[in-house]
A and B are shown apart, each in its own frame.
Chain A
């Protein structure tokens, strides 16, 4: 790529340290924090609400505000996920598994520390990619047609194995149920309506955020009612020094790199986003084999949760830099927030497209700088807030549970201002409660719901575009290689389980 001249770099850097830019960015990071952490409200909503505020504002300030919301919104959803098993945004769903387990063992402070530093690292690494490889990667993104999206979706489905807990069969059933839920509503390929049972609101399908809140938060609230009636002893929370996080990250440097790569890559692909990225990164960490060798189960479990938490938080924040690649090189947004950013850029009189980086290098550098600034502010705010936040867990159970329930329901309503969604979420939550009692894992349902449409519409579109020829899935190079990797992993798993049983 053509090098950015030092002059532009210097000039842009100077603007970043103007106090009003810092203030705008700080406001954005705090707003993103609130939107990201509230169940049902996401970075996308935050950026959409803030966009009209940028009408009379110059480019630098507008970007500082909006990108601050973007970066911090993708991070902050991890906090309620860790503390109360309620992912603030879909991208933080995978964080709830290791995070909530850690918090239940009194390590909430540690978990929030991991998530904060992990998020910043993910953001920074994707920023490097954006800076150096943006134009090259945009041509790569264009190699992805329906065929490739389908195989990628299959690849993602593999992580069901990693989150199924005890029983693979139950994990598979749960994932199938999730996929079935995803077929409700208007068929994206030919426009017919499926399984709406006469409810006009069901035509839109089962919305993701209400489902997420139902199967994670509401199901969890309901199943805790039995675990204890009143006076549940609260888990004593241990504090963890910031310096102690450094060796943890050094020890797991490979997880950081791998997850940042996954997040950036998924971010570059239009139509995907942090939710898919974090599940894939989670699945790639896999199940540790150290448990068998070491013998100290608790320590091995702790290390495993640490790695999964790092993987999910690094990857979902790495999406930010990745999603900006197609936006700034082709004018095509890489995820839902960047879709809103298109509008914000147009308001500034800028049409993001192939000319953006060449014609507006200074603005490009400002965008990078603001993202850098956001990452720093996230670390500062996150690390200073993490001592206070676990105090939420000190609220007595009979008060906390109703509050969480109300926040969940209001959050569901806020997504689409739909009272139908509220009823839907409660019904799904009760269903999740029953399935949990029968030891069915919840994450595969959500994964099925997210990946179902990707697998189905792209499979059918792939066939349509290629005249019904199914062999394209194997003969197109990227798709073929992905399928081959998939086959190898599956074969190896089968072999391993065969050896175990014999």
Chain B
């Protein structure tokens, strides 16, 4: 299957969803003009739908498997998952601990094998980045202590 055909299909569904949600938007009784809060989302939904149709009708020769290969590599997916979990837990985890753990796991994941590096870098980064943001930029990052 051509990659662009697949994406065109996905985008067409997305455009339909956009149009549906846009039609559900509340219009205030006081607004009088013909151009309302729904107009731009509608217009944009139509443009995306048209673009999607062109992609379906005139796709580039690239195949779907070839396109998705980099996304589906285990290493990439693992890193994506790691990043996602890190973001979800950001609020609840002490910043220094979170940075240390994220650094450690992702360095190992990306191929760092030197034990000294794995021991030092995460701790050093956690300390330095925390100091810079907390005391330099005065950002209150989440902390336990």
Question: CB–CB under 8 A between A and B in the complex?
Answer: yes
Q: Which residues of A contact B35 (CB under 8 A)?
A: 459-460, 463
User: A438 on the interface (CB 8 Å rule)?
Assistant: yes
C-alpha spacing A439/B95, complex, angstroms: 35
Q: Which chain B residue shows the least CB distance to A41?
A: B137
Q: Which residues of B contact A45 (CB under 8 A)?
A: 137
Q: Which chain A residue shows the least CB distance to B55?
A: A169
C-alpha spacing A227/B79, complex, angstroms: 14
User: A401 on the interface (CB 8 Å rule)?
Assistant: yes
Q: Which residues of A contact B136 (CB under 8 A)?
A: 34
Q: Which residues of B contact A409 (CB under 8 A)?
A: 86-87, 90
**Beta-carbon contact of A222 and B80 below 8 Å:** yes
Q: Which residues of B contact A222 (CB under 8 A)?
A: 76, 79-80, 83
User: A403 on the interface (CB 8 Å rule)?
Assistant: yes
**Beta-carbon contact of A176 and B48 below 8 Å:** yes
User: A165 on the interface (CB 8 Å rule)?
Assistant: no
Q: Which chain A residue shows the least CB distance to B52?
A: A173
**Beta-carbon contact of B87 and A426 below 8 Å:** yes
**Beta-carbon contact of A173 and B139 below 8 Å:** no
Q: Which residues of A contact B67 (CB under 8 A)?
A: 437-439
User: B54 on the interface (CB 8 Å rule)?
Assistant: yes
Q: Which chain B residue shows the least CB distance to A193?
A: B26
Within 8 A of B (CB), among A386-402: 396-399, 401-402
Within 8 A of A (CB), among B67-84: 67-71, 73, 75-76, 79-80, 83-84
Q: Quick one: which of B39, B51, B121 has the most chain A CB within 10 A?
A: B51
Within 8 A of A (CB), among B38-59: 39-41, 44-45, 47-48, 51-52, 54-55
Task: Give which listed residue, A223, A231, A397, A406, contacts B129 with CB less than 8 A.
Answer: A406
Q: Which residues of A contact B41 (CB under 8 A)?
A: 180, 183, 194-195
Task: Give which listed residue, B39, B51, B87, contacts A422 with CB less than 8 A.
Answer: B87
Taking A49-B137, A173-B11, A179-B40 as contacts, is the C-beta distance between A463 and B71 under 8 angstroms?
A: no
Interface string of A220-246 (1 = CB under 8 A from B): 001101110111000000000000000
Tell me the smallest distance from the CB of B27 to a CB of chain A, in Å.
Answer: 8
Q: Which residues of B contact A484 (CB under 8 A)?
A: none
Question: Could you tell me how many residues of chain A have their Cβ less than 8 Å away from some Cβ of chain B?
Answer: 68
Taking A173-B11, A438-B3 as contacts, is the C-beta distance between A192 and B37 under 8 angstroms?
A: yes
- Which of the four size classes fits the interface of chain B? 35 or more
Tell me the smallest distance from the CB of B139 to a CB of chain A, in Å.
Answer: 5
Taking A192-B26, A406-B125, A409-B87 as contacts, is the C-beta distance between A173 and B48 under 8 angstroms?
A: yes
**Beta-carbon contact of A190 and B90 below 8 Å:** no
Q: Which residues of B contact A439 (CB under 8 A)?
A: 60, 62, 67
C-alpha spacing A468/B33, complex, angstroms: 6
User: What is the predominant secondary structure among interface residues of chain A facing chain B?
Assistant: helix
**Beta-carbon contact of B33 and A230 below 8 Å:** no
Tell me the smallest distance from the CB of B113 to a CB of chain A, in Å.
Answer: 8
Q: Which residues of A contact B25 (CB under 8 A)?
A: 192, 194
Q: Which chain A residue shows the least CB distance to B3?
A: A438
Within 8 A of B (CB), among A182-217: 183, 187, 189-192, 194-195
Tell me the smallest distance from the CB of A207 to a CB of chain B, in Å.
Answer: 15
**Beta-carbon contact of B60 and A433 below 8 Å:** no
**Beta-carbon contact of B18 and A167 below 8 Å:** no
C-alpha spacing A439/B131, complex, angstroms: 39
Q: Which residues of A contact B69 (CB under 8 A)?
A: 226
Within 8 A of A (CB), among B106-135: 106-107, 110-112, 117, 121, 125, 129, 133
Taking A222-B76, A426-B84 as contacts, is the C-beta distance between A402 and B110 under 8 angstroms?
A: yes
Within 8 A of B (CB), among A412-445: 413-414, 417, 419, 422-423, 425-427, 429-430, 433-434, 437-439
Taking A176-B51, A183-B40, A407-B129 as contacts, is the C-beta distance between A413 and B139 under 8 angstroms?
A: yes
Tell me the smallest distance from the CB of B92 to a CB of chain A, in Å.
Answer: 9
Q: Which residues of B contact A191 (CB under 8 A)?
A: 28
B interface list, Cβ under 8 A from A: 3-4, 7, 11, 18, 21, 25-28, 30-35, 37, 39-41, 44-45, 47-48, 51-52, 54-55, 60, 62, 67-71, 73, 75-76, 79-80, 83-84, 86-88, 90-91, 95, 99, 102-103, 106-107, 110-112, 117, 121, 125, 129, 133, 136-142
Please name 12 pairs of A and B residues whose Cβ atoms are closer than 8 Å in the assembled complex, sorted by A.
A170-B55, A173-B55, A179-B40, A190-B31, A194-B37, A222-B79, A226-B70, A403-B103, A414-B133, A426-B86, A438-B7, A460-B33
Q: Which 9 A-B pairs have CB atoms at the shortest separation, nearest pair first?
A: A230-B111, A226-B70, A419-B91, A398-B110, A426-B87, A398-B112, A173-B51, A402-B106, A225-B76
A interface list, Cβ under 8 A from B: 34-35, 38, 41, 45, 49, 167, 169-170, 172-173, 176-177, 179-180, 183, 187, 189-192, 194-195, 218, 222-223, 225-227, 229-231, 396-399, 401-403, 405-407, 409-410, 413-414, 417, 419, 422-423, 425-427, 429-430, 433-434, 437-439, 452, 455-456, 459-460, 463-464, 468
Using A194-B37, A427-B84, A438-B3 as known contacts, list a sample of 14 further A-B pairs with CB atoms less than 8 Å apart, ordered by residue number in A. A34-B136, A170-B51, A183-B41, A183-B44, A225-B76, A226-B69, A229-B111, A402-B125, A410-B141, A413-B139, A414-B133, A423-B87, A437-B71, A463-B35
